[in-house]
Structure 1
Amino acid sequence: MNDRILITGADGFIGSHLTEELVRQGYSVRAFVYYNSFNSWGWLDSAESDVKKNLDVFAGDIRDPYGVKTAMQGCDTVLHLASLIAIPYSYHSPETYIDTNIKGTLNVLQAARELNVSKVVHTSTSEVYGTALYVPIDEDHPLQGQSPYSASKIGADQMALSFYRSFETPVSVIRPFNTYGPRQSARAVIPTIIAQLANGSNKIKLGAIHPTRDFSFIKDTVGGFIATMNSKKSIGDVVNIGSNYEISIGETAQLIAEVMGVSLEIETDDQRLRPEKSEVDRLWAENKKAKELLGWEPLYGDKEGFKRGLKETAEWFSKPVNLKQYKADVYNI
């Protein structure tokens, strides 16, 4: 634990939770956050004081190779989470996804190679699979770029694996399915539903409700990152992190309403619909490899686990200090 860990995207949803957990476990952490003139550390601004005082924060831009290499100096392990993730935004600004997700990943890999770091964990996404051709989806499932976002992540994943194959850079690719929990952006469906309900609206606006997803609670995803980081067996490989529980968006909305003790009516908002061929209709994770290689398994799997995760998420969003940070009446792409 004396080795220093660099976490890119530490200011984001998953990154901030991961940063906090590693600091609490006694690791030395350097948090790479996106530079801005407000000196904001994103979600790390709201971290407990015991976490903040033990953090080494580096403000920069993942697209800048010089800054990335500077941030990585003195670090033994890199957890690379920095990326653009909103699918609708990728429809009208695809080039930014190439710059951030592919070139940003290249910057991390090149610096890691030159500095001889001992482990790089690259973050993928279940979106790279596209609509399931078979279920549950294992790591051998074909990759299908159904949005500029997913295409950019496929490119980033392949770049990461190419460095392992070409230069023996010790890279592992972690592929989380739909992570949810406190702090998640309202561009994701679960915060969208909860925020609208918490603001007193029982008639909520959603896009397509027929697609199915495999939702992974943030604590399980964080556990998956730490297990991947500590597993030598994962080097050069791709590992799914998911609950192995499939549920539709419509059913998810009803379950959230049940957990929150309110009634619910869903109204289709056309601007929230993806183009027909871009919509990923079905995601369901096979997590057998994670259990075998990492010794990881979800604590919030199955329906009852999902309900527990939704309850914790709804409780966080329902606190006025947290809810006021979300514009529930505005579509967030």
Structure 2
Amino acid sequence: MTITKEAAAGQPTRAGAGGPSKGAGRPKTPALKPGRRRANRRENVAGYTFLLPWLIGFLGLTLGPMIYSLYLSFTKYNLFADPKFVGFDNYVRMFTEDPQFLQSVQITLVYVLVGTPVKLAAALGIAMLLNYRNRGTGFFRSSFYAPSLIGASVSVAIVWRAMFSSNGPVDSSLSLFGINIGGWVGNVSLVIPMMILLAVWQFGAPMVIFLAGLKQIPRELYEAAEVDGAGPVRKFHSVTIPMLSSVIFFNLLLETINAFQVFASAYIISNGSGGPAGMTNFYTLYLYKRGFADGQMGYAAAMAWVLVIVVAIIAFILFRTSKSWVHYAGENK
């Protein structure tokens, strides 16, 4: 048997001159044993089984009705006759022939643009006060959070209506100081501020979220700011707001979406009429009246989809603009 010089010298032969073969040096994935494969299959089946009820509910109770309502928005439908396709007539009539629709949009925008910032400001202010460890802090946290649990209920709206009526305790108290309003509910100029006040009163949920965010701000940042001579206002703008920006963004997005959906309080306070002079005829209340009181379900479906599109656009704008003012931990800019 003849051995070449290259082989004897330990040099690679011509067949191996190109280096190691494909796959050489690569770890091979061990094949799963049949028992392990069966166990993985059982885990997958169990996971899909637990997911199935949610999936059926989502398809049957959310996605399906949404698709059907989109179809109805292009039809003339009154619940008693078959839908009649009318194209974009509902959308055109909405913006060109329906002054009540435009009024409801205007009132809702005022409610959202004024009520949401005031509510968040109140929530942040109370959260900062409760962030200090004082005796009774737990009691005050629960007390401030309680209105948000019952604030949107029908019973609270009824109580609120009675409080601000012409003979209610609010008017009676103001009359002691010579201020005679004659009832907030029937006053065109004061009914919207009353509704905003009702929304602000329910600041408990964003307050708790703000409080959790404040607890996560390192104390060292405030100490460093104090060393640099920063006062309370400067520390608030330079430390608290930047470190709390992601929480502010979350609350702003959530409360804006919720404000667009105001319905129960407006319905109870106005007895479903949207009065006085249409000043409580919020978008969702007017949508309800069109669909269920007037029987124009196709028109109401079109209104619902306009609301979906508007809220989606606002959410998109908030996400896009958040890149310039929202800061996250560990983020490099």
Verify same fold: TM over 0.5: no
- More relative contact order, 1 or 2 (CA 8 Å, 6+ apart): 2
Give the TM-score category using the shorter length: under 0.3
Q: Which has more radius of gyration?
A: 2
Structure that is richer in helix per residue: 2
Higher strand share: 1
> TM-score when scaled to structure 2?
0.20
